Structure 1
Amino acid sequence: MTAVEAELMRRVGKLDPAERIGGKSLHRPFLLLWAIGQAVQGREREHRWSTVRDAVGPLMTTYLDLPARAEQVLYPFWHLQRDQLWEFADTENLTLTSDGRRPTLTALNSSDPVAGLPEGAYELISREPEFAARVASHVVSTFFNPPPPGLLEDMGLADLVADRLGRALRPCVGESFTNRNAVSDVYGGNRVMGITPLHDRILSVYSDDEGPYQDAPINEIGWIGYTGDGLRGHQQMTSGNRSMQRYQQQQRALRYWHKPVGGQWTFASWVVIVQLRQRWGVGVDHLARREFVWVLAPVDSPLRDTWPADVIEALEEDDGTLHDDTEGIPAREPSSDTPSGNHDRYRRLTAAARRTADRRTRRSRLVEVERYYRSATAREAVMIRSEDKCENRNCLGHPTERTDADAAILEVDHVDPLARGGADTPETMIALCPNCHALKTRGRNRKRLQTALLKTARLRHEAFMSSAT
């Protein structure tokens, strides 16, 4: 991408309509979309006020449900220039209103000035169809999502974006880079922050399997639990978290980047935020802190009409409520060096997990996430109980193998899957090495193994619950 293209995408990305009663004021994005359509069709760059007034006014009435008044067109015709996406040939003879904010309608009708896209922007859009599709896709996906029937045809953009609306945006899903600097060199954006926009101002979130955050897929549904912004202390609704909250409120898609251990940064998927949770975690200072978990649902594109039905359902149920998984749950703390200390913590975590499980027996506002979201409290209790060893008594793998970070290579699993009504409490959960987990899930003798594992989990649970403090 050239510097000129990047700068134009930055300007388009910064377009931020004012909030009005009933939603955002979309006058400026609407006029910009019309101007893009004119450039794509090979029309002149500059347009007289009377031409824009007579062409755009009726379209605003149709698609923005605005009164058929020339003042509705006057606002974007004048103010789009402050976004550096519109310019006038001559404004010296225009009489302004008493507050000096815009020309009077009488002055515009009398002098009939010309205005249009800046010359550089016009040249790019009129001569580069791929780039024109990229700009149009950005405007549509951000402000007219999904586009009302007939809008793209009336804007002269239907042929341009017929097969590439949404997909024309760059980067493309699947693009990989060796490091964050390489991403920034091509697409702009901050080189360090985990929640940050690229040059087009669309938010990106970065998830590194090597830390420092504990991001993880939510088992069985393919959604992602993404840890909020802030490395130490209780996380606050500021900075990147505030940006995430805004995207949640707008139900707008963002980019999800992922880096596996030893791998490259890859734009893995578009995602939308379907819920916000809060859990106990440990900061880089090794102290317990409350942290946000943004529940991300992958989608094919930023266009709402391409999103799966279960994602749309989740968005309709989400009212922005913070689901607090820390209430009544002890803060995370380093494991005690004494067996009695670990057993005591196990009991307290189990009690908290049962309270959470009891709440989840009732229908929640976000059914899918509440059904499958695994209790971090219960998982922590099982890890304490496992004493960093695979709990399958007949494990033939590497039950004590550890990672480079000296963590046990264990996966906490529901012996009775949640999807079949299994409880989200420690007595029905077990810590397994990856080999035993695979045998339990896909092995030929998995039914027999599941029965044995459930018995083991209950016996170990009873031993931890009954031991003396």
Structure 2
Amino acid sequence: MADGQDLMERIGRLRPAVRAAGQPLHRPLLLLWAIAQAVHGRPRQQPWSVVKHELAPLLTQFDGAQRGERDVVYPFWALQRDGLWEVADSAELPLTSGGRRPTFAILEQVNPLAGLPEADYNRLIDDSTVAADALSTLLVRFFGANSGSVVEALRLREFVRGPIGASLLPLVGEQYADRKKIAEAYGGNGVMGITPLADGILAVYSDDKGPYPDHHIPETGWIAYTGDGLSGDQTLTVGNKSMQEYQKQEKALRYWHKPYNGSWTFETWAVVIQCRRRWGRGEDKKQRREYVWVLAPVPSPLRETWPSDVVEALAQDDKSVHDDSVDVIPAEVVAGQESRKLSAQERYQQLSDAARRTDGNRTNRSKPTLVERYMRSAAAREAVIIRSEGRCENPACGGHPLERTDSGQPLLEVDHVNGLARTGQDTPEFMIALCPNCHALKTRGAGRGELQKSLVPVARKLHRAMQRGERRKARPDGT
């Protein structure tokens, strides 16, 4: 007898092609219908005449099929390839359509029996947990907002444990020491950062010690999740392609997180509400364009449980890539692209203008707008780094104003001189570059109030000087 894990793995491998018009649901619908036969105690195998009569209206209602009973031919034959369906004496049926399947007329004439493999049918009858998991997985993966209607149409409510998807394993909050343990428990790839578990539902993994700068976006509670690809410009392939499909279909995925020195935790279900492109550094320390998938945590994979601000954000999302890498091009990249190298003043003005365009919408406090402002504030941060000439901008700096990272970049932190929450402005004249020591003093030091107050005129003076093309004077110590 087939075990439950083997059945779930085959269901997880059921992946209808994604087309411009959407994802065809004929095979998932036939499989749900077949599982319904098992849990309702109906015979495992049913004649073609019964299958076409019962499946055709489901295909019309939930898959937009338009040819009535003739639309049943494809799933009736094709689901065999997934190892989830059997057509009796299929080898004896004459095939047409290039040898791919029998015609409607042949099926009408022969009226073959078909149904689930016997081992799967018996497992579903014997184990209600396996049946509930199989049903929930198919409903969550393929039917989303229509899950409840499908359940009612197939009279499956009593066989789905609690709210649809609530009993799916793993449960939110489950923890594992490493990725290998997750794969042992639930299948899937134990290495890739964007990959489905055995049930076919996409999962993403974020490690605080990993090479990607994933983080929570301030004031929103949403997550900026860096796309797939360690070095070089990222492309919409492999994991990023899967994320794009989930964004277009507005489906929930599993978000796993591993804090410093912590365990992997299935932290939350999440949906993609934006895709953005920005500049970042790859594992090779070189600048590259990378995708950022903005994830909004949701209570469950069912849309009816999602907060209103998430539903509104999904409605606003045009499913395109918002390219923040156009205005904000790092200086080292510009140097390699431009036939005429821009002066520091020109680059500063270009980035300041980009920051000001983004900041012009600062009165809008919707979460999508806050995300856009945060992601595009890279223009202001880059401008301030250029203005600083790699030195801490605190005139009284007593730390290490010229310190560099391993990649040779200035060890500086760009901050708002008086706090973004107070000024509400994300432009260079309200920001300053500080070494880690001065930044700590400004944010946590006992005299932070006085320091913040003193830095306000400094930032404005440096901004005006940069616009006039005036170079910063060196301090007596040479810095």
TM-score (norm 1): 0.81
Q: Partner of 1:424 in structure 2?
A: 426
Is the alpha carbon distance of 1:374 and 1:261 closer, same or farther for their aligned partners in structure 2, counting shifts above 3 Å?
farther
Query: After alignment, is 241-250 or 138-147 more displaced?
Result: 241-250
2:48 and 2:430 mapped to 1: Cα distance? 71
1:350–1:377: 8 Å Cα contact kept in structure 2? no
**1:138 partner letter:** T
Match of 1:338 in 2: none
The answer to whether the 8 A contact 2:139-2:147 is kept is no
> CA separation of 1:68/1:387 partners in 2, compared to 1, >3 Å: closer, same or farther?
closer
Matching residue of 1:251: 250
Q: Any stretches of 5+ residues in structure 2 without a counterpart?
A: 334-342, 474-479
Contact persistence 2:417–2:456 (CA under 8 A): no
1:305 corresponds to 2:304: yes
Three-state SS of the structure 1 residue aligned to 2:101 is coil
2:209 counterpart letter in structure 1: E
State the number of aligned residues: 450
Stretch deviating more after TM superposition (13-22 or 123-132): 13-22
Distance 1:118 1:414 in 2: 68
What is the distance in 2 between the residues matched to 1:315 and 1:243?
A: 17
Letter in 1 for 2:471: S
Partner of 1:340: none
- Check if 1:209 corresponds to 2:213: no
Residues 125 and 447 of structure 1: is their aligned pair in 2 closer, same or farther, counting only changes over 3 Å? Answer: farther
Q: Would the alpha carbon gap of residues 18 and 265 (structure 1) be closer, same or farther in structure 2, given more than 3 Å must change? A: closer
The 5 A counterparts of 1:152-163 are 152-161=151-160, 163=162
SS of equivalent to 1:206: strand
CA RMSD across the alignment: 3.9
Q: State whether residues 255 and 268 of structure 2, in contact with CA within 8 Å, keep that contact through their aligned partners in structure 1.
A: yes
Aligned equivalent of 2:323? 324
Q: Distance in 2 between matches of 1:453 and 1:27?
A: 64
Gap change, CA 1:172 and 1:281, over 3 Å in 2: same
Q: Secondary structure at the match of 1:147?
A: helix
Paired with 1:422 and 1:31, the residues of 2 have a C-alpha distance of: 55
| Superposed CA offset, 1:236-257 (max 9, x none) | 2222222222222222222211
Can you list the C-alpha shifts for 1:37-65, whole angstroms capped at 9, x where unaligned? 22222322222222222222233334444
The CA deviation string for residues 276-329 of structure 1, in whole angstroms up to 9 with x for no partner, is 222222222222222221211111222222222222222222223322222243
Cα-to-partner distance string for 1:96-139 (whole Å, 9 max, x where unaligned): 33533222333323332221112232233222222222221221
Q: Distance in 1 between matches of 2:414 and 2:328?
A: 22
Verify the 8 A CA contact 2:215 2:225 in the aligned structure 1: yes
Q: By how many angstroms is 1:372 displaced? A: 4.5
Given that residues 318 and 365 in structure 1 are in contact (C-alpha distance below 8 angstroms), is that contact kept between their aligned partners in structure 2? no
Change (3 A) 1:299 1:71: same
> Which of 450, 460, 471 does residue 467 from structure 1 map onto?
471
**Equivalent residues in 2 for 1:255-294, closer than 5 Å:** 255-294=254-293
Task: Assess, with a 3 A threshold, how the Cα gap between structure 1 residues 291 and 115 changes in structure 2: closer, same or farther.
Answer: same
Partner of 2:52: 53
Indicate the SS of the match to 1:24.
coil
C-alpha contact 1:221 1:372 (8 A) present in aligned 2:
no
Give the direction of change, closer, same or farther, for the CA distance of 1:422–1:245 in structure 2 (3 Å limit): same
Report the CA distance between 1:81 and its aligned residue.
Answer: 1.0
> Which amino acid in 1 is paired with 2:426?
D
Query: Displacement, 1:389?
Result: 7.4
Rounded to whole Å, the distance in 2 between the matches of 1:203 and 1:49 is 34
Q: State the distance in 2 between where 1:273 and 1:134 align.
A: 24
| More off after superposition, 365-374 vs 116-125 | 365-374
What is the distance in 2 between the residues matched to 1:405 and 1:413?
26
Maintained 8 Å contact 2:57/2:68: no
Measured after TM superposition, the shift of residue 87 of structure 1 is: 0.9
Inter-partner Cα distance in structure 2 for 1:130 and 1:383: 57
Aligned counterpart, 1:192? 191
State the Cα distance separating 1:157 from its structure 2 match: 1.3
1:244 aligns to what SS in structure 2? helix
More displaced 10-residue stretch of structure 1: 97-106 or 226-235: 97-106
Q: Which moved more, 1:161-170 or 1:350-359?
A: 350-359
Is contact 1:414-1:424 (8 Å) kept? Answer: no
1:378 corresponds to = 380
Q: Deviations over 1:73-105 (max 9, x none)?
A: 232222211111111232344343353322233
Q: Deviations over 1:348-367 (max 9, x none)?
A: 45741441331452589953
Quick check: 1:232–1:284 contact (8 Å CA) kept in 2?
yes
Matches within 5 A, 1:56-455: 56-67=55-66, 69-97=68-96, 99-147=98-146, 150-161=149-160, 163-331=162-330, 348=347, 351-361=350-360, 366-373=368-375, 375-380=377-382, 385=388, 412=415, 415-417=418-420, 422-429=424-431, 437=443, 454=456
AA aligned to 2:53 is: D
Unaligned runs of at least 5 residues, structure 1: 335-343
**Alignment check: 8 A CA contact 1:353 1:375 kept:** no
Distance in 2 between residues matched to 1:348 and 1:21, nearest whole Å: 41
Partner of 1:341: none
SS of aligned partner of 1:183: helix
Which stretch of the first structure deviates more once superposed, 352-361 or 281-290? 352-361
Question: Percent of aligned pairs with the same residue?
Answer: 45
SS in 2 for 1:200: coil
Q: Is the 8 A contact 2:276 2:293 kept in 1?
A: yes
Report deviation, 1:260. 1.0
Question: Does residue 36 of the first structure (1) align with residue 38 of the second (2)?
Answer: no
1:176 Cα deviation after fit: 1.2
